[in-house]
Amino acid sequence: MKKNKPNDNFDASNNTEETFSLDDLLNKFVSNQDEDAFEKLFAEIGERLFSFIFRYIGNTAQAEDVYQEVCLKVAMKANTYSHKANVASWIFQIARNTSIDAIRSKGRRPTVSIDGNASQAETTIIELVNDNEINPAEKAAQIELATNIARAIDKLPNEQREVFLLREDGGLTFEEISKIVSCGKETVKSRMRYALERLRNSLGKEAQNYGLH
Amino acid sequence: MDCIKTKSLITEYLYDEIDKDLALLIEEHIANCDECRKIFNSNKRALNAYRSIKKTTPAKSFVKSALSTSRDARQNAFKAGKASSITKLEPYLKYIRHPLFAAASVAVVIGIVVINSWETDEEYLKKNQLPVTITSNEIPLLGEEKAKLPPITDTAKKAKKTISAEVSQLVTKAKKKISKLESTDSLSIPKEETMVTTASTQEKVLPKIRRREQLQNVDSIDIERKEIPSKPTLKSQMALRAKAITTNKRLLARTTKQKEIKNKDNKISANKTTDSLENNDKGLELHIVNNLKNKDKPQKDKVETTKFADDTIENVNGPEISGFEEEEADVVEDIPTEPEDILKKSFELFQKQRYSDALYYLDEIPNNVGKNELTIAVIELRILCHNILGNKEEVEQGLDILTHLNPAFGSRLARKIKNSRINIDGKEEIKPIIPISKLLQTKK
């Protein structure tokens, strides 16, 4: 099933290259053994996926291992995809289960220390901040905000964190999240509400500059 | 819409997962309610702050390596045929991995092994190659068994011949031993009984041997054949001897009584009675018997009065008595008249282990000897003889009499008999408590 190119990705220079949905890419990969489709699939979803894994586990090295394992699982078990759920939902379910296994085996080692001292991993977040077009004062504020956000997410309970991350990073609906975490839709919504409340309280005044349009 | 409902729907409103009608109602409420508007704004700010920071992305090199490794792994899996086969079998693997499936498969394997190793009777017989078979004339067999039996082989015939020959040899050996025992003893063992026992054992044993021949091989038959009881036990021999003694005694008593009656008849008819015969019947009887049994031997010291009786008996019942004489010549000797002498004689026989003969003499002592040591010694010796010969009833009777006469001595002897061990030859010989030889010396 071909899908029209989204407006935000649309190239104005008469580029007629067709884009495919995640379902199509996975089907193409399974039926035609198309490796390009596999790469495109992860190009589409990879950033969100890694962000989710990174925030969920809280450690870059461990997140990379889990990410690679998820890629492998998707490649190997692509035939078993039953088309009952969304492809993104399916891949995020794999990612969530693999992350849980990793946390169980190795434990959760947050990137940012709870006591507020900048750790070695904290610099990873800082590096991620876009520093090309902003002045140093704004850059410092963003770094502080990123650190605070990372700390606030680490402080969240697992149930609330996973719901928040699946909604924000995975872009899944509450219905899909309820299927992944195996609970009711209303439970997911309440978990999300509590997660937002905690995040709001943690960020405090820092969030005021980014809130309202 | 109230504040509570608005607060519960704010999250859905933020993510646009709400109906348009409800969204309009929430917008109206937020516009009018400061508290709800504050919550909504703070939530939106927090989300914007989170979205404002750059998403954590993996390094491009890492993404490439991760994808290439996963692709290689998949290709390898396809080459090995695992991926496709595994994915096709995936729905069924859960059943195969179930423990019940494992248990069922093990049971099936065991069943197959048992069925394959099962042999019918014919197969078993063929496999073991039973060499010995017996025809239906010798052992009654059921129809099915007969049908299943293999034909008689030459080895089976040979084995059968050898077995029968060995059995007959054993039987003849047993017969010889019995005859030897008979010859050594003065009394004859009834031959019919021994023959019956050997024949009966043979009859009992032979079918068993034949059955074993049918079921086992020849070697095992050889082992079984050695276990056949070929000769009677010593205990049974002793019992037979005792029986023989009692029968002989009865015969002897009967003949003496017959002689007495005939003597009396002769005396009355011939009117040749003597005073000695009238006064002492018993002494005469004994003399008559002794003379009859020792008629061939000339006895000078015999009383003249006995000549008459000898002639009479010879004339009347010559052949009958002579036959008896020949049979019992070794047993019966001169019986003394005095109780002391009889006791002495019987004690000598007891020491010579001629217990039945000793009893024969002891029976000649009258019971009214008196309650003295002599009587006790006689009863004791009688009990001991009966004990060795295995006459339990008579032993008990003797002990009763003895305890009545002398309770302490009776109980002592009873204890001694009770504690006596059974030897290989039979009962243990117990020496008399009363020293008979000393007793007799003092009496003299």
State yes or no: pLDDT of B118 exceeds 60. yes
Whether residues B66 and A68 touch (CB distance < 8 A) is answered with: yes
Question: What CA–CA distance (Å, rounded) separates B423 from A163?
Answer: 102
Whether residues A211 and B71 touch (CB distance < 8 A) is answered with: no
Whether residues A173 and B17 touch (CB distance < 8 A) is answered with: yes
State yes or no: pLDDT of B382 exceeds 80. yes
Residue B4 with chain A: CB contacts under 8 Å: none
Whether residues A211 and B50 touch (CB distance < 8 A) is answered with: no
pLDDT of B93: 61
Residue A128 with chain B: CB contacts under 8 Å: 53-57
Domain-embedded: residue A158 = no
Q: Which residues pair with A19 in a beta bridge?
A: A3
The alpha-carbon gap from B25 to the nearest alpha carbon of chain A, in Å, equals 19
Express as a percent the part of chain B with pLDDT over 70.
Answer: 52
Question: What CA–CA distance (Å, rounded) separates B87 from B416?
Answer: 97
Least confident of B177-181, B210-214, B224-228, B248-252: B224-228
The predicted model gives A190-196 an average pLDDT of 90
Domain-embedded: residue A89 = yes
The predicted model gives B63-83 an average pLDDT of 70
Tens of pLDDT, residues B10-51: 888 888 888 888 889 998 898 888 888 888 888 888 888 888
Q: Which amino acid is at A104?
A: R
Question: What CA–CA distance (Å, rounded) separates B382 from B363?
Answer: 8
Tens of pLDDT, residues A20-59: 777 777 877 777 777 778 888 888 888 888 889 988 888 8
B interface with A, Cβ–Cβ < 8 A, is 8, 10-12, 15, 17, 41-58, 62-63, 65-67, 69-71, 73-74, 77-78, 83-84, 87, 90
Instruction: Count Cα atoms within 13 angstroms, Cβ side, for B142.
Output: 3
Domain-embedded: residue A60 = yes
pLDDT of A47: 85
* Assigned token pair, B436: 């008979």
Q: How many residues does chain B have?
A: 444
Residue A2 backbone dihedrals phi, psi, to 5 degrees:
-85, 150
User: Could you tell me which residues come within 8 angstroms of residue B218 by beta carbon, excluding any fewer than 6 positions away?
Assistant: B131, B132, B155, B159
Domain-embedded: residue A77 = yes
Least confident of A134-148, B110-124, B193-207, B317-331: B317-331
Interface ipTM: 0.76
Which domain, by its residues, includes A84? 21-109
Domain-embedded: residue A87 = yes
Q: What CATH number is attached to the domain comprising A74?
A: 1.10.1740.10
State yes or no: pLDDT of B253 exceeds 70. yes
Q: How many Å separate Cα B443 from the centre of its chain?
A: 55
State yes or no: pLDDT of B90 exceeds 70. no
Q: Which stretches does DSSP call E strand in B340-423?
A: 422-423
Whether residues A212 and B69 touch (CB distance < 8 A) is answered with: no
Q: How many Å separate Cα A119 from the centre of its chain?
A: 22
Domain-embedded: residue A84 = yes
State yes or no: pLDDT of A112 exceeds 70. no
Whether residues B15 and A193 touch (CB distance < 8 A) is answered with: no
The alpha-carbon gap from B73 to the nearest alpha carbon of chain A, in Å, equals 7
**Residues within 8 A of B (CB atoms), A 47-86 only:** 47-48, 50-51, 54-55, 60, 63-64, 67-68, 71-72, 74-77, 79-80
Which run of H or E residues covers position B427? strand B426-427
Q: Which residues pair with A20 in a beta bridge?
A: A2
Q: Give the pLDDT band (50/70/90) at residue A95.
A: very high
* Alpha-carbon separation of residue A158 from A93, A113, A185 (angstroms): 15, 17, 17
Mean pLDDT of chain B: 68
Express as a percent the part of chain A with pLDDT over 70.
Answer: 72
Domain-embedded: residue A212 = no
Residue B46 with chain A: CB contacts under 8 Å: 196, 199-200, 203, 207, 211
Residue A117 backbone dihedrals phi, psi, to 5 degrees:
-75, 140
Picking from B158, B299, B328, B66, the residue whose alpha carbon sits closest to that of residue A74 is B66
Residue whose pair of structure tokens reads 């009776």 in the numeric block: B410
User: Could you tell me which residues come within 8 angstroms of residue B149 by beta carbon, excluding any fewer than 6 positions away?
Assistant: B125, B133, B141, B214
Whether residues B56 and A125 touch (CB distance < 8 A) is answered with: yes
* Assigned token pair, B185: 């003893």
pLDDT of B190: 47
State yes or no: pLDDT of B279 exceeds 60. no
Q: Which residues of B133-167 are buried (b: 16+ CB within 10 A; e: fewer)?
A: bbeeeeeebeeeeeeebeeeeeebeebbeebeeeb
Top-confidence residue, A59 or B291: A59
Whether residues A196 and B43 touch (CB distance < 8 A) is answered with: yes
State yes or no: pLDDT of B187 exceeds 50. no
User: Could you tell me which residues come within 8 angstroms of residue B51 by beta carbon, excluding any fewer than 6 positions away?
Assistant: A168
Residue B50 with chain A: CB contacts under 8 Å: 149, 168, 199
* Assigned token pair, A86: 């969304």
Q: Give the pLDDT band (50/70/90) at residue B226.
A: very low
The answer to whether residues B70 and A68 touch, using CB atoms and an 8 Å cutoff, is: yes
Q: How many domains does chain A have?
A: 1
**Residues within 8 A of B (CB atoms), A 81-120 only:** none
* Alpha-carbon separation of residue A172 from A87, A90, A178, B136, B274 (angstroms): 11, 11, 10, 93, 154
Question: What CA–CA distance (Å, rounded) separates A154 from A108?
Answer: 10
Picking from B33, A203, A207, the residue whose alpha carbon sits closest to that of residue B7 is B33
User: Which chain B residue shows the shortest CA-CA distance from A174?
Assistant: B17
State yes or no: pLDDT of B407 exceeds 60. yes
Domain-embedded: residue A180 = no
Q: Is the pTM of this model over 0.80?
A: no
Mutation target to probe the B interface, by most B beta carbons within 10 A, among A49, A79, A185, A202 is: A79
pLDDT of A164: 92
Q: Give the pLDDT band (50/70/90) at residue B91.
A: low
Q: Give the pLDDT band (50/70/90) at residue B329.
A: very low
